[in-house]
Amino acid sequence: MIAAVSAFAPAKVNLALHVLGRRDDGYHLLDSLVVFAATGDMVHAAPAETLALRLAGPFAAALAGEPDNLALRAARTFAAARGVAPRALLTLDKHLPVASGIGGGSADAAAALRALARLWRVAAADRALALTLGADVPVCLAGRPARMGGIGEALSPLPALPGCGLVLVNPGVAVATNSVFRARGGAFSAPLDPSAAGWADAAALAADLARWRNDLEAPAVALAPAVGTALTALRERPEVLLARMSGSGATCFGLCASPAAAQTAAARMARPGWWVWGGGLAEAA
């Protein structure tokens, strides 16, 4: 019997995010370029008589009051789909801020699915099952740079990414996704048009990204001015080639020429109440 398995849940970063439209059921149609940073949560799964979740890590307290964590819902959904009893002790080692626009809950659910497939010795979860848990879960389950479309189900690989670094800054505020979407005004955006040839270096990637935006950034800044403060701080750093908000916020990122440059920027940006990280991209899951 397998004693225990672990799966990494890396932070998801939306390098660009356009809102293309809205379906009759209320779901928005998106076009986004997604990468994963080399920081995140860890999910451990061990045999147990029932299904239970244990929280650990610096952001565990932020989840303590949740009646039903997404990792637990992922486990129940996966067990039902595979016809197995939902028995496991999940330990979520929470290192990413909660409700922060970098896919923490979705990444945790995807990591739980990967870990439980190994623990229960069943076929891995597929994209359709992942989508029932949330729009970001399919891309987090894939765990590699992707262009994400539709409501999250349409994934295609990105061209090879150049060497680069990311500095992530969360100003210590949570922004509700639904509120940000409701606050978004104006017309819907055109699709992205990334170069099929890829990018020679981080500067070329930054120049391409500058042609697009995150359509949710302006409404998030209006709802939480601290997001604007974080963006200004990033843009003042000489190491940062481009700064933007990720997802629906409040975490913002700075694209740098290298992981070392991102680490330097992060070290200079520490402030009380802020979560700051700098480094490179995660390896593919």
Task: Enumerate the active-site residues.
Answer: 12, 136
Task: Print burial letters for 229-268: b (CB count within 10 Å at least 16), e (below 16).
Answer: bbbebbeebebbbbbbbbbbbbbbbbbbbbbebbbbbbee
Question: Which residues lie closer than 8 Å to 23 by C-beta, 6 or more apart?
Answer: 29, 151
Question: Which residues lie closer than 8 Å to 152 by C-beta, 6 or more apart?
Answer: 30, 131, 134, 135, 136, 137, 138, 139
How far apart are the two ends of the chain, measured CA to CA in Å?
A: 24
